Chains A and B, each alone.
Chain A
Amino acid sequence: MNEVAPMEQFSEKPLVEACARAPVGLLAELTHRCPLQCPYCSNPLELDRVNTELTTEQWQDVMRQAADLGILQIHLSGGEPTVRKDLEDIVEVAAKAGLYTNLITAGVTLTRDRLKRLKELGLDHVQLSIQDVDEANAEKISAYKNGLEKKREVGKWVREFDMPLTINAPIHRHNIENLPNIINFAVEMGAGRIEVANIQYYAWALKNRASLMPTRAQVLKSAEIVEEAKERLKGIMVFDFVVPDYYAKTPKPCMGGWGRGVMNVTPQGRVLPCHASESVPGLEFDNVKDRRLADIWLNGQAFQKYRGTSWMKEPCRGCPRAEIDFGGCRCQAMAFTGDPANTDPACKLSPHHLAFVAAAEAESGVANPPPFIYRRMSPAKAPAAE
């Protein structure tokens, strides 16, 4: 049985056919509010404010449109999605529309009653993030007290309600040495799945790269640990290992290819090809308040811009891997080379590759990395009402 990963080839086919071939998944960033302040947050540096968030009805409409479009799975994320008091109303509509619903949560603001209700309304799966299994270190990373204890509790409720649990563990230099304990924690929690997710360096993580980057030796060791654990825990826990591409030779097929398998809706309703794509200049993002989701997916300028392979330059153009990795990540190409149409610097064929690797090696080699810049709303732009 093949995994749809995340979408089979459609980009070069006529749009009529594509109509029936919607993205597999939609990441719904319900809010940017979050009680945690992790320095590697994937949210943009400019966070959407609560008074600009889509309403309950608007999110419910997004769910119905997503199902009509043929999207299969909804990932309810944030920020912290459970800070929205109407999460239940959104989940209910999504589940009724036939979408597979996944809650991506830090857990600390979730209650047993709410989880029970969410399950009754049709929530299919819970992904719980952890910062570390060392309490003090978890506190330091998230700038949140007693989070780990709360997460243990949430994990117990998930099992109590007979729901599947994924533990998501973002990995960086401050917790990579604890990886064996993090894996054990996930097993003890009864997780059926673990994401050992090396930090991808965008947005806040890019800002904090010098504080977070592990050494090559640490990364290689972590890969060995995962390989061993995968074998030992076969049939017990499924592993997803996201490698840090700074030490790679070929880029990751970011988002499974631009505008190919996934779409993202921000708290304000902007529809993005990926959660970091607002860092790429020259893109026009449509809003669900103005345009139907299906129309945005098929015709939106931001989706069309880097869809398929026709936008590619050398060395991507004509590369045998062009339809395997799609030139990697546009956001990373932009951030590191200044041109989003360049090949991802993670590719060894990129003229920027050596400088890219050197940056990671230099930063990770520093004995005392700089302190974290925590993820916070910028106070300068806070409206008086908040």
Chain B
Amino acid sequence: MNAETPRTRVIIVPASKPALPPHIKLRHDPGRGRWHVLAPERVFEPDPIAIEILKRCDGVNSVEEIASELAKDYNAPLQEILADTISMLQELSDKGVIKA
């Protein structure tokens, strides 16, 4: 998408540090009372878990760190949360919503 865009598919691993590129906007829509991800000619509606993950995608936190935080917050098994987080972020990466 820009000069640095990897022209190979990014594979999300526990050490990946996902971030939203500048042109992807996670926004709360007060009128509709929900969150949206605004992307080129697309609007996505993240579910509550996706919102929690996307809020933590700052390019600093690793996928593993995000998952362990969520595992704590939701009192859920880490391995399960990690697997779900990776699969969600992989899908978002393939849609161009996050970079890592």
Interface residue ranges, A against B (CB under 8 Å)? 1-4, 6, 20-22, 24-25, 70, 72-73, 75, 98, 100, 102, 124-125, 127, 159-160, 162-166, 187, 190-193, 234-236, 238, 240
Tell me whether chain A's interface is mostly helix, strand or loop, or mixed.
Answer: loop
| Contact call B41/A127, Cβ cutoff below 8 A | yes
B8 within 8 A of A: yes
Give chain B nearest CB distance to A77 CB in angstroms: 12
B9 touches A70 (CB 8 A): no
Q: Which residues of B contact A192 (CB under 8 A)?
A: 1, 5, 40, 96
Q: In the complex, which residues of chain B have a beta carbon less than 8 angstroms from the beta carbon of A165?
A: 1
- Of B36, B43, B47, chain A has the most CB atoms within 10 Å of the CB of B43
Query: In the complex, what residues of B have CB within 8 A of residue A22's CB?
Result: 31
Q: How far is the CA of A235 from the CA of B95 in the complex (A)?
A: 7
With a CB–CB cut-off of 8 A, which chain B residues contact A21?
A: 31-32
Q: Cα distance A293–B20 when bound, in Å?
A: 32
CB distance from B90 to the nearest CB of A (A): 8
Name B97's closest neighbour in chain A (CB-CB): A1
Q: Which of A1, A124, A166 is B44 in contact with, Cβ under 8 Å?
A: A1
Closest 6 CB pairs between A and B? Answer: A235-B9, A192-B1, A70-B31, A125-B40, A100-B38, A162-B2
Contact of B10 among A124, A235, A240 (CB under 8 A): A235
Sample of 7 A–B contacts (CB below 8 Å):
A1-B47, A75-B41, A125-B41, A159-B5, A235-B93, A238-B94, A238-B95
Shortest CB-to-CB span from B3 to chain A, Å, is 5
Instruction: Verify B43–A164 contact, CB threshold 8 A.
Output: no
Shortest CB-to-CB span from B49 to chain A, Å, is 10
Q: Count residues of B near A (Cβ-Cβ below 8 Å).
A: 38
Known: A72-B38, A73-B43, A193-B96. A164 touches B10 (CB 8 A): no
Chain A minimum-CB-distance residue to B51: A1
Q: Say yes or no: is B21 at the interface (Cβ < 8 Å to chain A).
A: yes
Q: Of A1, A75, A165, A166, which is in contact with the most chain B CB atoms at under 10 Å from its CB?
A: A1
Distance in angstroms between the alpha carbons of A88 and B95 in the assembled complex: 29
Cross-interface CB contact of B25 among A100, A127, A234, A240, cutoff 8 Å:
A100
Assuming A235-B93, A235-B94, is B43 touching A6 (CB within 8 A)? yes
Contact between B40 and A190, CB atoms less than 8 A apart? no
Docked-complex contact A238 and B44, CB < 8 angstroms = no
Chain B residues with Cβ below 8 Å from A125 are 23, 40-41
Binary per-residue interface labels of chain B (1-18) against chain A in the complex, 1 for a CB within 8 Å, 0 otherwise: 111011111100000000
CA distance A73 to B27 in the complex (A): 12
B45 touches A187 (CB 8 A): no
- B29 in contact (CB, < 8 A): yes
B71 within 8 A of A: no
- Asked if B9 contacts A4 (CB within 8 A), the reply is no
- Apart from A1-B88, A4-B36, A236-B8, what 16 extra A-B contacts exist at CB < 8 Å? A1-B37, A1-B50, A3-B44, A20-B31, A102-B40, A162-B2, A164-B96, A165-B1, A187-B7, A190-B1, A190-B7, A192-B1, A192-B40, A234-B9, A236-B9, A238-B94
